[in-house]
Structure 1
């Protein structure tokens, strides 16, 4: 019996990992069972007590450090935590915050006592005194994010502003951006948990002091999925106040645990070097409904599997290739160039790592394929380059390839010139380098698929498609259809989004030729 191939082993490993992850995710929605014979911990909200909420702002994360800057933002004396709620406020930005400082929102979820019945608007001192009550839940959340400012785009011609030289990484300083919306949640579902085996993600969120060792204070969380970079506002010294929206929504115990795990995963991504924009794009996935989220996670795993299999089979095909009969070398040159341009563009636009890392791998493979197509041998010892000799059949294919590329050149030349002039006159750019990159990328995405037609022309002349790597093509086709779904889900440049649908048409033509 032969051992399983690498393709089979990789597919089984990916599927097993996905099913294991989904099972671990599903188990979070059901609280651990607590046998009647053991001590059980319960939520203090199981008895449906009355609660009030106070919101305090400070430039410090810890209120014990300095109190003179503390301001009471709002106080909800009568609060029905079983129903969603939303309120528009006007928040004051302290001077330290306006000077590229920080700012935190402190949420106190405090039980109501009889002495509170006749109280009106709460004071800061009153809130801090009530914070010591048993079963009070507390949460601190930053309202300021420091990140590099986005460069401005402008007309390169006819504008008085001149493009600045790109500053070095040491010169660019992160600036304060204010988060104008915040949604907080409280777990209102009734539950019982075993004392032994209490989930760690729940244990670290329990607030103190507690009135009863077996009573868990309300579990508070902030909806991180609504904290998006696009909604944040850059802070300047003249911004004394700004509108602020407070939203509340009750959640279940299972959703609280899942959201907590996702939040910890995002923190882990930052530790691995993922930027703020990468993390922000991951957050967009959690705005979907659960069904679409599950489908997206599944197809993401499939996308990685097919990417790996396509790269593997493409490399195997070209590694064993001894001639290039029936292969359009000019199309290979174009694919290597276009993949390099797309990679640089996606990287400069700070697109999702799920998009530009496979693009970078594809660019390296395309460059390597050129060495096989032109029979280039590199001698690292003598630092010399040797070119092989083509056979008569390869020369015949090259002539057909040149004929097809010549016809294509007559079509593309006016398109390139026209698009360059139009982009310069009517499209704002950040710099001249940005204009060059935008023209190259626009040409690659808009007309790059036309460079696939010389291969179609060569197939037509030879009346054969046996010289093509069909196994790698099949995996790439699956990924093309997955990219169609990602075009509606994952954040990516518009040109890259359009290119996903463009490839479908060319693949159907290849299928027709094979038929």
Structure 2
């Protein structure tokens, strides 16, 4: 979900950049970019008299005023062109609106009807929507003698879309033995299959105030909706032409999940049309994004790898969020998603920093780290096994987590390849085995940590193994799987989701026995637990399986137990603790303490020197005084 939101925002920001790049300079009419030269569209020049006539216009201007009143008709047919409208079957006419005001944003008309699906369309032909637009009261039929191309136009747009089929996963109950061998699919069906899909809801948007536009610099997504004046008329310069009002068949909000595949079984489908005026800037945004999405879908259908992985449906999920979520809840989701990424990055940073500074194994559960490597590897294999719609960014993130946990192992013990010993059960089976050796001679506290870790995992096995076996038996009997390999991976992943929080229990047990949490990466744990609260928010606001919802709530129990332990076993960060570690500013505090001791020593030395000087002076003065008195007595005696 986080990945989908961020990718959607990235697409939105990129589209905004494109729109600002090509449509940043707006004309006063609020339309497209203003031309780079002065254009006079007041009079149409005689094409035959122009010596500098341009077949491709440089700039184009609206052929009708912005406040025109128009008539719109829409016919549905598999044919590329229609004969005289009087001969077209009445059931083909699905939209017939008169006196529709361009620029009047209060105009909102709706049509709800049903259309028959022709046989050609059932067999992958295109179902066309033929639009006929004319100034109110003008002739709208191009075959009529009174038809004036300066007052009417017509064009067509497809109603169905050709999209790749979703790959159906072959699942079976592994305990059931099929008497008939499974038939292999023919080779031509192994690749991507394209099918025709139909969505019943369409919005026909008239775009007013489009203004003068540069035809040669126009975005392709916008150019495809422009209908130029067909006679090739130009102004006096011979470089500039005209275009009809933009009528946009908006399919941006059509979701793949709401579409129906057209085949022999589909005889009739509903058709709901909404006719309204759409602001020009909204049209630029929706048309650009919609065109980009269709290009991604076409790229995925051709088998070309998508940037970032996936199958081009990530933005489809983002649209589902926009449609199905309250605006306030959506804003909250956006904020907490950003916070989630920030906390995740800070947790990684502080976790790595803590383990880089760690110099002993006191309080460290090596078995827990090994279990984390195993569980994250299982999740990685599960993502690979279901990699049809998995982005490579998700796989890369999971792989980085595995490398981080493996690096922690190298910080606690030395990993070596050794030949199996004479008493090893792998002797004669494997040429080498992985051995974990202590980095140094263990202290008494480190030996206690290993003992407590062993005790904790002994009880953990008693609880976890029966639960794992029970879940495996249930999954084997009542669920379907692709293969035995998928069964093993999915069973282990389900156990990780359900019982993964048990891996934190040994660390809590070690904290309890050591009566300390000084060895724990406090900052990293705080950021991780903040993320669990964010996951709790999503657990209540987003649809998800019950098992996954419980998995987001389980870590809260561990968090509160750890908070109690942190309160119970307080750490004095002003000193180096019993594990050879200090607080954040341990080195700085030691230097300050040394400076303070130095100042005290210097002050004491100066005081002693001063005191000694005074004593010497007083003794000298006393000696001189006694000498003077002796001289005075001698004189008296004389």
8 A contact 1:144–1:176 mirrored in 2: yes
1:49 to 70, 73, 92: 70
Shift of the 415–174 alpha-carbon distance from structure 1 to 2, 3 Å rule, reads: same
Shift of the 22–200 alpha-carbon distance from structure 1 to 2, 3 Å rule, reads: closer
8 A contact 1:314–1:472 mirrored in 2: yes
Task: Give the aligned partner of residue 308 of structure 1.
Answer: 345
The one-character-per-residue Cα deviations of 1:50-94 (angstroms, maximum 9, x if unpaired) are: 212223346xxxx48xxxxx9998423423773353535355364
Question: Cα offset for 1:336?
Answer: 1.4
Aligned with 2:164: secondary structure?
strand
Equivalent residues in 2 for 1:69-468, closer than 5 Å: 74-79=92-97, 82-83=107-108, 85=110, 87-92=112-117, 94=119, 98=123, 101=124, 103=126, 105-106=128-129, 108=131, 110-111=133-134, 114=137, 134=152, 136=154, 138-140=156-158, 142-158=160-176, 160=178, 172-188=190-206, 190-191=208-209, 193=211, 195=213, 200=219, 203-210=222-229, 217-228=245-256, 230-233=257-260, 238-239=264-265, 241=267, 243-248=269-274, 250=276, 251-264=278-291, 266=293, 271-272=306-307, 273-287=309-323, 288-349=325-386, 350=388, 353=391, 357-376=396-415, 387-390=436-439, 391-392=442-443, 393-468=445-520
Q: Which whole-Å CA distance do the structure 1 matches of 2:490 and 2:148 have between them?
A: 58
Q: Which whole-Å CA distance do the structure 2 matches of 1:321 and 1:151 have between them?
A: 47
Q: Which whole-Å CA distance do the structure 2 matches of 1:171 and 1:485 have between them?
A: 43
Q: Which whole-Å CA distance do the structure 1 matches of 2:132 and 2:486 have between them?
A: 50
1:503 to 551, 555, 571: 555
Higher relative contact order (CA 8 A, sep 6+): 1
Unpaired segments ≥5 residues, structure 1: 1-13, 65-69
**Bigger mean CA deviation after superposition, 175-184 or 465-474:** 175-184
8 A contact 2:128–2:156 mirrored in 1: no
8 A contact 1:31–1:254 mirrored in 2: no
Shift of the 77–104 alpha-carbon distance from structure 1 to 2, 3 Å rule, reads: closer
Q: Which whole-Å CA distance do the structure 1 matches of 2:110 and 2:186 have between them?
A: 46
Shift of the 374–168 alpha-carbon distance from structure 1 to 2, 3 Å rule, reads: farther
8 A contact 1:34–1:193 mirrored in 2: yes
Shift of the 54–347 alpha-carbon distance from structure 1 to 2, 3 Å rule, reads: farther
Shift of the 23–225 alpha-carbon distance from structure 1 to 2, 3 Å rule, reads: closer
8 A contact 1:189–1:252 mirrored in 2: yes
Question: Cα offset for 1:366?
Answer: 2.1
**Bigger mean CA deviation after superposition, 293-302 or 359-368:** 293-302
Q: Which whole-Å CA distance do the structure 2 matches of 1:396 and 1:164 have between them?
A: 58
Task: Give the aligned partner of residue 612 of structure 2.
Answer: none
8 A contact 1:325–1:394 mirrored in 2: yes
Shift of the 254–499 alpha-carbon distance from structure 1 to 2, 3 Å rule, reads: farther
Shift of the 300–51 alpha-carbon distance from structure 1 to 2, 3 Å rule, reads: same
The root-mean-square deviation of aligned C-alpha atoms, in Å, is 4.7
Question: Cα offset for 1:276?
Answer: 3.8
8 A contact 1:52–1:109 mirrored in 2: yes
The one-character-per-residue Cα deviations of 1:225-276 (angstroms, maximum 9, x if unpaired) are: 4322x3445566x536353544436444443333234335546766414314
Task: Give the aligned partner of residue 34 of structure 1.
Answer: 27
Q: Which whole-Å CA distance do the structure 2 matches of 1:375 and 1:169 have between them?
A: 51
Larger of the two Rg values belongs to structure: 2
Q: TM-score, normalised by structure 2?
A: 0.61
8 A contact 2:227–2:246 mirrored in 1: no
Q: Which whole-Å CA distance do the structure 1 matches of 2:460 and 2:435 have between them?
A: 31
8 A contact 1:163–1:432 mirrored in 2: no
Q: TM-score, normalised by structure 1?
A: 0.74
Q: Which whole-Å CA distance do the structure 2 matches of 1:489 and 1:266 have between them?
A: 27
Q: Which whole-Å CA distance do the structure 2 matches of 1:169 and 1:506 have between them?
A: 52
8 A contact 2:132–2:152 mirrored in 1: no
Question: Cα offset for 1:348?
Answer: 3.5
8 A contact 2:348–2:524 mirrored in 1: yes
Question: Cα offset for 1:444?
Answer: 0.7
Q: Which whole-Å CA distance do the structure 2 matches of 1:177 and 1:23 have between them?
A: 29
Shift of the 277–438 alpha-carbon distance from structure 1 to 2, 3 Å rule, reads: farther
Question: Cα offset for 1:210?
Answer: 3.9
Aligned with 2:108: secondary structure?
coil
Shift of the 202–434 alpha-carbon distance from structure 1 to 2, 3 Å rule, reads: closer
Shift of the 215–105 alpha-carbon distance from structure 1 to 2, 3 Å rule, reads: closer
The answer to whether the aligner puts 1:470 opposite 2:522 as a matched pair is: yes
Question: Cα offset for 1:217?
Answer: 1.4
Q: Which whole-Å CA distance do the structure 2 matches of 1:318 and 1:166 have between them?
A: 52
